[in-house]
Chains A and B, each alone.
Chain A
Amino acid sequence: MKQATDPAKERYALMEKIQMVDFALVELTLYLDTHPQDTQAIQQFNQLAVESRDLKSAYEQRFGPLRQYGGSFSGYPWNWGDSPWPWQL
């Protein structure tokens, strides 16, 4: 059995997807802070929130927890503190 994809590449690719979706969420958050009645933007926000959650779950199954203090489940042994940290990637 041959590994089809390079895990490091896959990590970067998946992380980049998360960064894209989360960036849209940051941008929509700030926009909605000053435009609270924009229905379309709220719809987009809620849709992307689901997408972000799903992408993070997929990432975490392969590469370990992303979110602190119970935002993500832990593996065994405790793997929150495992490298690499963001600046080491």
Chain B
Amino acid sequence: MWYYEKKLQYPVKVTECNPRLAKYLIEQYGGADGELSAALRYLNQRYSIPDKVIGLLTDIGTEEFAHLEMIATMIYKLTKDATPEQMKAAGLGAHYANHDHALYYNNAAGSAWTATYIQAKGDPIADLYEDIAAEEKARATYQWIINMSDDPCLNDSLKFLREREVVHSQRFREAVEILKFEKDRKQFF
């Protein structure tokens, strides 16, 4: 089971109300390579992956939920004081019409999250390669958002998340090597 802890993994501060930036950040909330996709992808793959890497998928999948909460906090803080006019000017008019200031799992272009964003092939190498690719795509997305953001407080938190993608990718690459080593060992003996 899971336990909630009343703390963010890393502090999230924003300089000012900025719904335009929130619109971009929604990509990492309910987008294809966002944190929701990541958490659900890894935790779902656990059941058919070899025992050697179940721990890693469990731990990275759990950390993704902490990242999801950080992204939610950013979007919440960037939009909570925005007027309907400001939401509209930021390109969030359609979002406001449907959700007011509520968060919703869609991407930056407004498409709702879908399970087709993630895959579970049952083949450990295929699944881990998908996970590595997902981490690299998420890292790139964070970089594109940082490139467009002029909020130094927010960028500090975004850089933390970008670095986590690098570490996760590295750990998944090691998991591939562990599985290859195990496979060779079995054939040898």
Contacts and interface: CB of A to CB of B under 8 A. Distances in A.
A19 B9 contact: yes
Interface in A49-89: 65-69, 71, 85-87, 89
A33 interface: yes
B7 A19 contact: yes
Interface stretch (A1-9, A24-32, A38-46): A24-32
The winner among B6, B72, B73, B178 for most chain A CB atoms within 10 A is B6
B148 to A, nearest CB: 23
Contacts of B53: 33
A72 B79 CA distance: 32
A9 to B, nearest CB: 14
Nearest to B12: A87
A8 to B, nearest CB: 14
Given A33-B55, A87-B69, A87-B72, A69 B10 contact: no
B3 A69 contact: yes
A30 B11 CA distance: 21
Nearest to B74: A87
Given A34-B56, A87-B72, A87-B76, A27 B167 contact: yes
A87 B175 CA distance: 34
Contact of A26 (B11, B12, B55, B63): B63
B182 interface: no
User: In the complex, which range does the number of interface residues on chain B fall in?
Assistant: 20 to 34
A27 B166 CA distance: 12
B137 interface: no
Contacts of A29: 59
B88 to A, nearest CB: 24
Interface in B71-103: 72-73, 76-77
B8 interface: yes
Contacts of A15: 7, 11
B150 interface: no
Contacts of B76: 87
Contact of B10 (A12, A23, A34, A68): A23
A86 B6 contact: yes
Contacts of B174: 34-35
5 contacts: A22-B7, A30-B60, A35-B174, A66-B5, A87-B73
Interface of A: 12, 15-16, 18-19, 22-23, 26-27, 29-31, 33-35, 65-69, 71, 85-87, 89
Of all A-B residue pairs in the complex, the 4 with the closest CB atoms, nearest first, are: A87-B73, A34-B174, A33-B56, A68-B4
